């Protein structure tokens, strides 16, 4: 199956893609400045380490600015050949960390941020070739009625829990059946929601 199949994992989604390794390495680190407000430093270094450039990247003032920074960082990582990266957004305020909010509320906020990220990152012509996997089938139903209502993005699931799961009867979801030949980009929403979802992510990546 000929896919560019880049995989983007998004949890309680600050965009920190894996460290690129092309001629110029773009790296975004978060550091605390001398003031109370955190400061981001963008570093660029050549493969042989012969040059080093550094410039300030301001801490985002709002979620719109955060999403644009995430978009830019993801684009740089893809250009650099990275196929798998994790993008994490603070859902309870820009200075929050996962767990600051109640689990269900954080997941709902993550879903909305994932939609907004896709709107600015995925071009309209590629929307139908982008597949977003949620932890389970019920999450897909909720997404279609809420954050992703009217979206052309393909929504899918990693697991399909049932009443009989507690008794050891599980409806297996084959990732080979979920992936389509026309898919170019996979985005996995909060992949660490459960262990089975994480295992499915490994299969999807391979």
What local confidence, expressed as pLDDT, does residue 125 receive? 94
pLDDT along the chain (206 residues), means of 10: 51 40 39 45 46 62 93 91 88 84 84 95 95 92 96 91 60 79 91 71 72
| Of 113, 122, 120, the residue nearest 147 (C-alpha) | 113
What local confidence, expressed as pLDDT, does residue 100 receive? 82
| Packing angle, helices 103-121 and 63-79, rounded to 10 | 60
Place of tokens 């300030």: 56
What local confidence, expressed as pLDDT, does residue 45 receive? 43
What local confidence, expressed as pLDDT, does residue 23 receive? 40
What local confidence, expressed as pLDDT, does residue 169 receive? 59
The pTM of this model reads 0.69
CA dist., res. 112 & res. 106, Å (int): 10
CA dist., res. 102 & res. 98, Å (int): 9
Domain boundaries, the chain: 6-22+60-205
Q: How many residues make up the chain in this entry?
A: 206
What local confidence, expressed as pLDDT, does residue 31 receive? 36
What local confidence, expressed as pLDDT, does residue 54 receive? 46
């Amino acid at each position: 199956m000929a896919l560019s199949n880049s995989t983007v994992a998004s949890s309680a989604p600050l965009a920190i893609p894996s460290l690129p390794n092309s001629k110029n390495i773009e790296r975004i680190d978060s550091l605390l400045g001398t003031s109370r407000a955190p400061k981001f430093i963008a570093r660029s270094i050549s493969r042989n380490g012969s040059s080093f450039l550094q410039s300030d990247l301001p801490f985002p003032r709002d979620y719109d600015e955060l999403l644009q920074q995430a978009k830019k960082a993801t684009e740089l990582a893809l250009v650099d050949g990275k196929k798998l990266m994790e993008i994490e957004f603070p859902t309870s305020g820009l200075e929050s960390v996962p767990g600051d909010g109640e689990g269900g509320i954080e997941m709902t906020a993550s879903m909305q941020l994932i939609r907004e990220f896709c709107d600015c990152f995925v071009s309209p012509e590629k929307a139908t070739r982008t597949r977003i996997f949620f932890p389970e089938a019920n999450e897909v139903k909720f997404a279609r009625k809420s954050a992703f209502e009217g979206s052309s993005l393909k929504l899918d699931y990693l697991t399909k829990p049932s009443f009989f799961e507690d008794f050891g009867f599980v409806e297996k979801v084959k990732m080979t059946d979920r992936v389509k030949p026309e898919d170019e980009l996979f985005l996995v929403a909060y992949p660490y929601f459960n262990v089975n979802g994480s295992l499915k992510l490994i299969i999807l990546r391979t």
